[in-house]
Amino acid sequence: MNKKLLAELKEKLEKQKTSIEGQLEKFAKKDEKLKGDWDTQYPKTNGGVGSQALEDAADQVEEYVNLLPIEHSLELRLQNINSALDKIKKDRYGKCEKCGKKIPEERLKIYPEARMCTKCEK
């Protein structure tokens, strides 16, 4: 792989890393807040404030449940990005982790954190 492309991909990866970490930070904070709200919401709804309080609590639970897979996939992407950046450092970037062949540059341009070639990914 030529150095220019490698530098471009590295920059892309670093940008993605910053962006994902920013998103995860929001989730983490939100997560904390939701946990805090759990304790305060339940006594309120049990106290019979009405169906609105119950709905609000249900919404929050739903939001939390919806966020979990997103958070998980962001974490996974971050892991792949970190691993790709590590490989760039060690001069091992662009090789398939399974078959050891070169990952096509076209694939890396679209998906720079790819760990495997298209064949092995399937």
Residue 120 binds Zn ion (CB under 5 A)? yes
Window of 42-50, 63-71, 80-88, 113-121 that interacts with Zn ion by CB under 5 A: 113-121
95: which DSSP letter?
Answer: B
Compare residues 13 and 96 and give the one whose CB is closer to Zn ion. 96
Give 95's strand partners.
Answer: 102
48: which DSSP letter?
Answer: T
Residue 114 binds Zn ion (CB under 5 A)? no
Structure tokens of 36?
């805090």
Angle at which helices 3-46 and 51-89 cross, to 10°: 160
Residues in 57-96 at the binding interface with Zn ion, rule: CB under 5 A: 96
Question: Which positions lie near Zn ion, rule CB under 5 A?
Answer: 96, 98-99, 117, 120
